[in-house]
Structure 1
Amino acid sequence: MSQYQRLLLIINPLLRESAAINHAAALAKASGARLHLLALIPSLDGLSLLETGDRQQAREALLQDHRQALEARAVKLRDRRIEVTIEVDWAADVEQRILAHVKAYAPDLLIKEIEQVSALRRAFYTPLDWQLLRDCPVPVYLVGGSGYVLPRKVLAAVEVSDIESADNSLNEQIIRQASALAIQCDAELHLLYACDISAAYLANMGELPLAELTRSLREDLQKSFLRLAGHFGVASSQRHFIEGRPVTVLSEFADEQHVDVIVMGRVRKRGLSKWLGSTTEHILYQVPCCVLAV
């Protein structure tokens, strides 16, 4: 049975080329899923300077141009026997329009190309990709890097630092989503935990010497990781327990091992952590591959 039935691809109509179309098309072809291409055009302030009649005519002409361009792409996909529908519209609030389409269309995946945003710009406003990671109710597949359009190596990044927390349930969602993607694409499934044992984390762990405490905690975390990997039947050669900061570990591993997709968890943040961004949010600008956020 196919892992995916409906895919929703968000396109920036101002871009002539989109790597995300190739990725979405390959996944739709492999799974037999229906693919809906949604292009949203942010409202253009310049049109407000025109007279009412001219403004309406300009809006319709611009929409028609983009519809024709997108339909030409859709025709090529249909020639490959991919079921494709398109939609082009204006959007005063792009995120809210995307979320409304997600609710109405109920896709298995929301697919979008990663928008590269500098650290300076991220300090002043929240990127659309981050907004979708926080608010979208379905898994978000963000396309980046230059690897295979159909994944050959899928990496599930898990967190085992607190096996009594909600992380354990999230780990299961991450692995099941990664496994579904790997099965659909006939790809290798790998499992990784970035073990980051900091002095701050150990501060309240008792009177044991730091070196002994670090070793003991590392052993406990590794046992938890191996139990998790064993529970889901991940081969020993495809389990990776690596010490270091998560963003650094994932970025280096993805680059060295030619990972095509990293599957990660996402949680809704509040307060200061919401503005600083999660590991999943920051990884978008570090790894040379796609990110599937659960």
Structure 2
Amino acid sequence: MADTERLLLIATPLMNRTPAFDRAAALARVRSAALHIVAFDYVEGIASAGLVNETAINEMREGYLHSHREWLEEEAKGIRHLGIQVTTEVIWVARPFEEILTYIQELKPSMVIKDLQHESWLTRAFFTTLDMRLLHDCPVPLHLVAKVQHGIPRKILAAVDPFRLEDQFEHLNDRIITTAETLAEQCNAQLHLLYVYDLSYIYAMDGGMGEASSVVDTLYEKESETFGRLADSYGVPEDRRHLIMGNPAKVIESLVVSAGIDVVVLGTVHRDVMNKLMGSTTEQLANHLPSSLLTVNPRSAQP
């Protein structure tokens, strides 16, 4: 078992099968990996009952956990029929985030898989959700699953930025592409490469002088050449290269729909003060993307 890759599926505390189950089973199968499923449980009504009768709360909690374990085991049986080694666990914890991070660090999975929870802008403005905290701190690749049209992904998009390297961590583009490339090979899927550039600031600085067009053409040519060299180095075919001007999050969402992308692979970065409200591109996508994300954390050690 020590030499077997292991994936970690963080299941919803509700006893219902979600898209993340299907994606986790599919990836475990194509990667010949073991799968560990864990649910972090907490029911406020049961917990508060302990103020009245501690014995009763313990019995209620154990009964609930027993039911959840049985349900999770039934789901695991269906996955085991695919020839996958599956283990399950249910943990009672009031505030799961710290427990989840500790759990990941101890288990050392090669990937964490979880359902993506789309939150309203109001919730995001006042609360840091579990998904956002995992995006920032998960030490291994994090796969957030919003929708599964194909259990095994057929099209995988690596979103990179060959420029603004001062804002990125060293070799992040290479890690993003390598992660996407490996997944594409395992799934026999198409690998697409995207760079979204924004030159609108050039027009804003033009001041009506009419010089913006030539400057934009020059910059576009330079960025096109740099993107082309990056794509060439990984052997990405011409028809799977996407160089598009616009807002990164909006462009990615549009391309996911138009090209039928199953998984978007991109990096997570620290937010600066100016972008705190809007969040990073990854955070914006996590709240709108109709597909799935696979994120690479540049702050974690490279495997």
**Counterpart in 1 of 2:270?**
268
What SS does the corresponding residue of 2:126 show, helix, strand or coil? coil
Q: Is the 2:196–2:248 contact (alpha carbons within 8 Å) kept by the matching residues of 1? A: yes
User: Structure 1 CA distance, aligned partners of 2:289 and 2:210?
Assistant: 37
Aligned residues: CA RMSD? 2.1
1:116–1:166 distance in 2 versus 1, CA, 3 Å: closer
Q: Which residue of 1 aligns with 2:253?
A: 251
C-alpha distance after superposition, 1:29-49 (max 9, x if no partner): 111101000100135243334
TM-score normalised by the chain length of structure 2: 0.89
Q: Which amino acid aligns with 2:21?
A: I
Q: Which moved more, 1:39-48 or 1:120-129?
A: 39-48
Deviations 1:164-189 (A, max 9, x none): 66456110010000001001100000
SS of equivalent residue, structure 1 residue 35:
strand
State the partner residue of 2:93.
91
Tell me the amino acid that sits aligned with residue 19 of structure 2: A
**Partner of residue 48 from structure 1, selected from 47, 50, 65:** 50
The 1:28–1:57 alpha-carbon spacing in structure 2 relative to 1, beyond 3 Å, is: same
Say if 2:253 and 2:289, in contact at 8 Å, map to a contact too.
yes
Q: Is the 8 A contact 1:159 1:167 kept in 2?
A: no
Stretches of structure 2 that go unaligned for 5 or more consecutive residues are 297-303
For 1:9, the aligned partner's letter is L
Hey, what's the Cα distance between the residues in 2 that align with 1:203 and 1:168? 30
User: Which segment is superposed worse, 65-74 or 155-164?
Assistant: 155-164
Cα deviation 1:203-243 (Å, max 9, x = unaligned): 59xx9922222221121111111111111111111111111
In structure 2, the CA distance between the partners of 1:163 and 1:208, relative to structure 1 (3 Å rule), is: farther
Which position in structure 2 is the counterpart of 1:145?
A: 147
> Is residue 20–residue 114 contact of structure 2 (8 Å, CA) maintained in 1?
yes
Q: How do 1:89-238 and structure 2 match up within 5 A?
A: 89-163=91-165, 166=168, 169-199=171-201, 203=205, 209-238=211-240
May I ask how many residue pairs the two structures share in their alignment? Answer: 289
Partner of 1:38: 38
Distance in structure 1 (CA, Å) of the matches to 2:168 and 2:117 = 30
Pick closer, same or farther for the CA change 1:128–1:199 going to 2, 3 Å: same
* TM-score of the aligned structures, taking structure 1 as reference length: 0.92
Q: Tell me, in whole angstroms, the C-alpha distance in 2 between the residues paired with 1:199 and 1:107.
A: 42
- Is the Cα contact below 8 Å between 2:50 and 2:56 reproduced in 1? no
Please say which of residues 91-100 and 173-182 is displaced more in the overlay. 91-100
